[in-house]
Amino acid sequence: MVELELEDGLAVITIDRPHARNAIDLATVGELEKALDAADGALALAVTGAGEKAFVSGGDLKELARLRTEPEASAMALRMRTVCDRIAAFPGPVVAALNGHALGGGAEVAVAADIRIAAEDVRIGFNQSRLAIVPAWGGAERLARLVGPGRAMLLAGTGRVLDAAEAERLGLVDVVLPRVGFADAWREFARGLATAQAREIKNLTTRTRTPEEAAAAFARLWVAEEHWEAAERVMSRGR
């Protein structure tokens, strides 16, 4: 089951499959596709899992075990890769709120986001190697961009699972928060990114822009009513 909340410009997608530790099967892929369609137009997107045990524990092996041919396996990988690509390409900031462990495919979903916020007791790892397979949802490439090719090779090649503190030290996680109050805290972060200016900052930091395009983005915000209201508040405090 995949839930979608829309509130004040923030879209929150929650994967809620407690019986499978929020693992992803083909039905879940379809629900994620529909949720992303419905989230179109939001200023920011957050992806999380239900409960406190798992963000996403990877692909649902019990459900996916019936895929026995190369064409079937390839089609599944490409379909979920497309979902992760859509998360990464969302026009506004994307937050992965790691409420629980992010393992295998779950780590791939996490790195599709722009920002990863993790509870302090969370573990994350590209441990597909224990199944004698490799990351297939774009996670290996994204991991390399985050931590460098060498570290990515070590992590994915050995299947090493990191705790939240070490993941933050390596740049795989951006913010680590206490478990107590985690749900409220990450939502506060995400709501703070559901703005037109944060959307433009994503464009500036994740895409190659010409000086003219960057100036045009600034100018659009400069003439907006929101800017002048904020400027008036700042100037009034100095009077």
- Give the global pTM: 0.89
Domain boundaries, the chain: 2-192, 208-237
pLDDT value for 208: 64
Topology of domain 2-192, CATH: 2-enoyl-CoA Hydratase; Chain A, domain 1 (3.90.226)
pLDDT value for 52: 94
pLDDT value for 207: 72
pLDDT value for 209: 65
pLDDT value for 238: 62
In tens, the pLDDT along 194-219 reads: 999 999 999 888 876 677 777 787 77
DSSP state of 223: T
pLDDT value for 73: 92
pLDDT value for 239: 57
Alpha carbon separation from 181 to 109, 188, 203, 224 (Å, rounded):
23, 11, 31, 35
DSSP state of 24: B
**Residues 6 or more apart in contact with residue 137 via CB below 8 angstroms:** 77, 80, 81, 83, 84, 105, 108, 109, 112
In the structure, how many helices (H) and strands (E) does the chain have?
Answer: 11, 10
Which stretches of the chain drop beneath a pLDDT of 50?
A: none
Q: Are 3 and 37 in contact (CB under 8 A)?
A: no
Q: Measured between alpha carbons, how far is 171 from 118 in angstroms, rounded to an integer?
A: 12
Q: Locate all alpha helices (DSSP H) within the chain, ordered by sequence.
A: 26-38, 61-64, 70-88, 105-112, 139-147, 149-158, 164-170, 182-192, 196-206, 211-222, 225-237
